[in-house]
Structure 1
Amino acid sequence: MHVKFCGFTQLSDIHTAVQLGVDAVGLVFYPPSPRAVTLTQAKTLSAAVPAFVNVVALVVNMPEDELVDLANQVPFDLIQFHGDETPEQCEQLASKVNKRWMKALRINADQHTTASVRAQIDQFAAAGASSILLDAYHQHKYGGTGARFDWSLIPKDSALPIILAGGLNAENVAATLELPIYAVDVSGGIEQDKGKKDTAKMRAFMKAVKRARWQNETLSEPSNLSS
C-alpha cells in the first residue's frame, strides 16, 4: 500500500511528511477550499519535495488556460482531476501539459453499485488515466469532507489501481489492507485545522500503515517449519 498526504499549506508539514516516508504529497488548486494554495505558495512547497516523492496537483473543473499556466509555473508530477471532468476532458487537458493523471470519483451508496463504479473506472482507463481515486460523495463539496463511503462498493477487478480517500485516520487505515486498493489518500485525518497538519497524527497514521504492512507480510509468509 502506498500513501498520499493531501492538502498542504505549510512548509514544515511537507518536511515532516517526507521524513515519515509518504509516497506523494497533494497540493490543492481550488480557491473555495480552505486548503487551497496560490502559485507562489505551491512553488515553495513543491521545491521542498525530494526526488522519488510525487507532487500531485488537485484541480476542480479548472479551465485549460489556468492549467497550462499552473504547469508552466509549478513543478508537479501528476494531475488529480477532482471535479466534474469527463474522461475525454481529462485526457485533453492532461495532454495539453503532458502530465499523467488520475480521476476522483465521488461514491454515493444511493446512486452507485459495484458494477456502476467499475463501469466508470473502465471509461477513465480507456481515456488514459493512471489511477482512479474513490472518495465520499457530498452534494455541495468536491472532497475533503472527512466522510467515508461504503467500502463494499469498491470493485475487486478494477481496470485501474484504486486510491482510497474519505474519512481515513490512524485508527481505521489498517482495515484498508483487506481492500482491493493500491494506495490511501488522507487529508483531514492528519490535521489540527484545515490545511494545517498535526505532526502526531501524521506520525500515528504512518505508524499504523507500517504496522499493518508488517502484519500482512508476516501472515502471508510461508512457514519454514518442516513436517
Structure 2
Amino acid sequence: MFTPRVKICGVTQVEHAVAAVAAGADAIGLVFYSKSPRAVEIEQAREIALACGPFVTTVGLFVNADADDVQAILRRVPLQLLQFHGDEPRDYCEQFARPYMKALRMRPELDVSAAIQDYSSACGVLLDAYRAGVPGGTGDTFDWDRFPKVSNVPLVLAGGLDSENVAQAVIRTRCYGVDVSGGVESAPGQKSSDLIKQFIENAKQAYVKGETE
C-alpha cells in the first residue's frame, strides 16, 4: 500500500530535525527567506542538515532569491532538493544542478494543470493555499477538490495541514506527499516534537484508516 511522504518544513533547531527524523519524516525543510519567522542562517542550516543523516532529504526553500545567494548557500549547506516558492520561471529553477520542486499558490483563476506543465522538469510540484502578498506559511487550506486527480509530476499538498486534518487530506487528494510547517508548531517558528510525531503518524496511516472506517 502506498504511503505518502512527509516533509516537515521551517525547522530551525537541530533537536526538532532529529525528532522529525526519528518520527519517520522523509524530508526536512530549511527556509532561506528573511521575512519568514522560520528563516535560518547558513551555519544554522548546515548544522541542521548534517544532523538529518544520509537518507532524509534536506530541502532548501527560497522565494525569488538572487541566484548568487542560492549558490552561496549550496556551497555551505548540503541540500538535496531546492524548493522555489516565489515567481521563479522554469529556466531559473533549472540552473542550480539540483532537483527542484516548484510551489504553486492556488489562486482562484489558476489553471492548475497548465501551471504544472510549465514546470515539467521539476521532480515535484507543491500546491499551497493562496493569500495575496504572502508566499506561503499562511495556515490556510484550499479547496482540495481542485487537486488534480492525474499528473505526470508528483504532487505535494500543503496549506493549513495539521494532525487533525492530514489523514482526510491524504485520502481526498491521493497526493504523493504532504508538507507542514505551522501545523506542528507551538508558536511561530517553534516546532513541537509531539505534534510532529502525531502528524507523521496520521499522515502515513491515512490510507489504512480510510479503508477500515
With normalisation by structure 2, the TM-score equals: 0.94
Which of structures 1 and 2 has the bigger CA Rg?
1
Q: State the TM-score, normalizing by the size of structure 1.
A: 0.88
Q: Check the 8 A contact 2:5/2:204 in 1, yes or no.
A: no
Alignment of 1:119-138 (within 5 A): 119-125=114-120, 128-138=121-131
Residue 207 of structure 1 corresponds to which residue in structure 2? 201
Return the offset for 1:214. Answer: 2.8
1:169 aligned residue: 162
C-alpha separation in 2, matches of 1:154 and 1:214: 21
Distance 1:213 1:75 in 2: 33
- Counterparts of 2:150 and 2:207, CA distance in 1: 22
Aligned twin of 1:117 = 112
Deviation at 1:177, TM superposition (A): 2.5
Partner of 1:63: 66
Relative contact order: is structure 1 or structure 2 higher (C-alpha 8 Å, sep ≥ 6)?
Answer: 2
Per-residue deviation, 1:161: 0.5
RMSD of Structure 2 on Structure 1 (CA): 1.3
Q: For residues 26-85 of structure 1, give each alpha carbon's deviation from its aligned partner in whole angstroms, at most 9, with x where no partner exists.
A: 000001111000001011111101121000000011111111111101101000011110
Gaps of 5+ in 2: none
Matches within 5 A, 1:39-118: 39-92=42-95, 94=96, 98-109=97-108, 111-112=109-110, 116-118=111-113
Q: Per-residue CA shift, 1:92-124, capped at 9, x if unaligned?
A: 3x3xxx110010000022x23xxx100110110
Percent identity between matched residues is: 43
CA distance in 2, matches of 1:87, 1:150: 26
For 1:38, the aligned partner's letter is E
* Shift of residue 158, structure 1, vs aligned partner: 1.5
Look up the SS of the partner of 1:121 in the other structure: helix
Q: 1:24 to 1:143 in 2, by over 3 A?
A: same
> Which residue in 2 is equivalent to 1:222?
none
- 2:21 is aligned with 1:18: yes
Structure 1 segments, 4+ long, off by >2 Å, are 213-216
Match of 2:119, SS state, is: helix
User: What letter is aligned with 2:113?
Assistant: R
Query: Do 1:27 and 1:56's aligned partners in 2 also have CA atoms closer than 8 Å?
Result: yes
- Following superposition of structure 1 onto structure 2, how do residues 120-199 of structure 1 map, counting pairs within 5 Å? 120-125=115-120, 128-178=121-171, 179-199=173-193
SS of equivalent residue, structure 1 residue 62: coil
Shift of the alpha carbon at 1:200? 1.9
Q: Does the Cα contact within 8 Å between 1:155 and 1:180 map onto a contact in 2? A: no
- Equivalent residue pairs, number: 208
Shift of 1:180: 3.4
